[in-house]
Structure 1
Amino acid sequence: MALALQIGETEPDFRRYGIYFTPSVGPLAEFGASWLGWDCLAARPRPHPKIPGLPKSIEEITATPRKYGFHATLKPPFRLAEHTNISALGLTLERLCGELGTVVLDGLSIKRLGSFLALVPVGSMEPVSGLAARLVRGLDSFRAPSTEAELARRRMANLSPAQEEMLQKWGYPYVMNEFRFHMTLSGRLPEREAETCRHVLTPHFARLIPGRVVIDAVTLVGEDNDGRFHAVHRYPLTGIPAGM
C-alpha cells in the first residue's frame, strides 16, 4: 500500500528523504539497531549490546553512523523539489517497486572501506547496483537541485572526475558506476582499531546472516531536524527478479 496523505493530514516534518535497504524484522535487524544505538524502523534509541574486546566503547565507535540507523543506502538522502510532496514521492516509488524484482546477495561480510567498517556483499554486486541505479534515476525528478554549499561539502572528499560527474548529474558522487552497496558499522577508525573491531564483530554477524540475503523491499526514510532517520514506509519489490 502506497504512502498517501488523507484530506486534512499534514506532511511529515522531515528535511530530507532517502531510499534504504533495511533488513526484515528479525535477529539481524535487532542486532544492527542495537549495535548502532538507533532503531530507524521503530524511531527510538536502543541500548548497545555488551561486547568485550573492542578497542573503545561502542558509543564512540558508532557515533557517526548512529543517526542513519542500520541500513544500506540505495538512493541517497535528498531535499524534496518545490513542485512535489511526500505523497507523490510515495506513489511513484510504489509504481517503480512494482517494476523492480527481488535481489539476492550471496552473503554479507565485514570489511574495511577506507577508514570505516561495513557489511559488504559476498559475490557479485551487479544486481543490487542495478536496483540502486533504477531508484536513483526513477526518483530524480523529486530531488531539489543541490545548493552551492552542498556541492562544496561533497567536493571536500577529493572526488575523482567520474564522481564529480555523478555529483553534478545526480546530486551525489557515489551513485551509478560509483555505487558500492554497504551497511555502515562504524565511523572513522585507525587501521589497528578497525581490524580489532572487525575481528571481534565477525562471529556475531556470522551467526545472524543466514548465507544468502534477500532484498525484497525498500524503505522510504526521512531525516528529522536532529539529523536522525526514521522509516516512513516500506515498499515490496514485486516485479520480475533480475536475470529471469
Structure 2
Amino acid sequence: MSVASVEAPVWAHRTPRKRLMLWAGWLACVALFVWCWERMTQRTIWAFVWDAPNAAADIASRAFPPRWSYMERLWAPLWDTINIATLGTLLGIAMAVPLAFLAASNTTPSRLVLRPAALFVIVATRSINSLIWALLLVSILGPGILAGILAIALRSIGFIGKLLYEAIEETDIRQVEAVTATGASQGQILTYGIVPQVLPSFYGISVFRWDINIRESAILGLVGAGGIGAQLNSSLNMLAWPQVMLIILVILGTVVVSEWVSAKVRHAII
C-alpha cells in the first residue's frame, strides 16, 4: 500500500460528544426561556396588551403639543435635580476613595479584616438601586432633596469604589518599586507611586458617575426625594399629559447636555 492511498484525517471543529452537549445546552436554554415566559405572563391580561398601541396613540395625542407655559415652574426642580446629582456624586466620592484603597489588595493594611469589610460595603451599596435607597431614606428622613442626595451618594459608593480599587490593583509595580528603593515611607509610596497612576482613572470614573447620576436623580422625585421627578409624579397623578411631555423633553435635554459635558471633561482631563 502506497503512502498516497492512506486517507488523511478529517478535521472537525467539535467532537460528536461536544456537538451533542452543545445541542443539549441550547435545548435546555430554550426550555428555560419557555418556562420563564410562562411564569412571567401567567397573570398578563392579553386584551390590554393587544389594545396597547391604541392606548399609546391616545396618550400621545393628548400629550401634544407640550405645555410650554409650564416651563417656568420647572427651573427650580431642575436645579434641584442637578444639585442632587452633583452633591451626591461628591459625597459618594468622599466615601468611596478610602474604601477603594482598603479594598485593593496592594494597598490595604489588613487582608483579613479591613479588605473583606471594604469589599462588603462596596458590593452592598452597588447591589441596591438608588430608587430603593431613596424609598428607605424618605421613610427615615422625610421627603426632600436630602434623601435624594444621600441615595445618590450611597449608590455611587459601590460604582466608584469597585472601579477605583480595580484600577489601584492594576498599577505598574515597577513604579512602586522605584519609589520604595529610595527609602520612601508607606505614605510617600502611596502618594508618589500609586496615586499618580490612578488619577486619570479616578477622574474618568467620577465624571462618568456624575453623568449617570443626572439620569437617576431625575426620577427620585417619584418617591418623594425631590427634583424634577416630583413634578413628573404630580403631573402623572393629574393626567396632565402636556405637562408630562414637557417634563420628559426637559429631562431628555438635560441628559443630552450632561452627556456632552461629561465627554468634554473626560477628554480634557484624561
| Greater relative contact order structure (CA < 8 Å, 6+ sep) | 1
- Which structure: greater strand fraction? 1
Tell me whether the two structures share a fold, i.e. TM-score over 0.5: no
Structure (1 or 2) with the larger CA radius of gyration: 2
- Which structure: greater helix fraction? 2
